[in-house]
Amino acid sequence: MSDTTKQNGFQASTQRRAPRLNERIYHLCPGDQLLLIWHDLEIAKYELDKKTGLIKVDRVLYSSVVYPDNYGFIPRTLREDTDPMDVLVRMQKPVVPGYFNRARAIGLMPMIDQSKKDDKIIAVCADDPEYCHHTDISQLPPHHLTEIHRFFEDCCFQFF
């Protein structure tokens, strides 16, 4: 990959290294503008397909219910439902499917999904200045906790 910039009236070409396979397929530009290759994505729950290693749509929310935070999983963890542990990450900006994020667990919501234990970890983005200082779920404002609880209630999960 190369990038062409204008210096002293001339076009100069600078080389950029190719991203590693485990890096995200996007880059940050000056001014914190996120450029994405995904467009017009459905509002849905995505998860890792164990057979292909690709991200797939697990379910689409067909109502006005929306995810209160970024929803994902913790790689290399398996629970009773044979899926990686689910995590809801509170942060200021939404992320795209496949994004790797440093997060700190601050709480746990014990739940049952389709008759199997399916706990949800509540976390904050470790790099988000708004939330990085939180170390316990009790530090979140009460209305955030209500949003999270209501979301899981509306999505047909049973609380343990």
Percent of the residues in the chain that have a pLDDT greater than 90, as a whole number? 23
Phi, psi of 37 (to 5 degrees): -95, -10
Would you state the structure tokens that stand for residue 4, as one six-digit string?
């062409």
Average pLDDT, the chain: 73
Check residue 133 and give its pLDDT: 95
Other CB atoms closer than 10 Å to residue 59's CB: what's the count?
A: 10
Residues 25, 97, 85, 141, CA torsion sign = positive
Q: What is the mean pLDDT of residues 58-74?
A: 78
User: What CATH number does domain 65-159 carry, 3.30.300.180, 3.30.70.20, 3.90.80.10, 3.40.50.300?
Assistant: 3.90.80.10
Binning pLDDT at 50, 70 and 90, where does residue 146 land?
Answer: very high
pLDDT at res. 112:
84
**Pairing of β 120-125 and β 103-109:** antiparallel
pLDDT digits over 88-142, tens only? 999 998 887 778 889 999 999 888 877 888 889 999 999 999 999 999 999 999 9
Domain locations along the chain: 65-159
Whether the predicted pLDDT of 4 surpasses 80? no
Portion of the chain with pLDDT greater than 70, in percent: 66
The residues, any chain, with a CB within 8 Å of residue 100's CB and separated by 6 or more, are 22, 24
Catalytic residue selected from 46, 62, 67, 99 = 67
> How much is the pLDDT for 106?
95
Answer whether residue 65 shows pLDDT above 60.
Answer: yes
Beta strands in 2-160 (DSSP E): 2-7, 10-15, 27-29, 33-35, 44-48, 55-60, 70-74, 85-90, 103-109, 111-113, 116-117, 120-125, 158-159
* pLDDT at position 159 over 80: no
> Residues 137, 57, 43, CA angle at the centre, nearest 5°?
65
Tell me, what DSSP letter sits at residue 22? T
Q: What is the mean pLDDT of residues 39-53?
A: 66
- The answer to whether 150 and 109 have CB atoms below 8 angstroms apart is no
67 catalytic residue (yes or no): yes
Q: What is the mean pLDDT of residues 33-37?
A: 43
**Which of 1-10, 38-47, 121-130 comes out lowest in average pLDDT?**
1-10
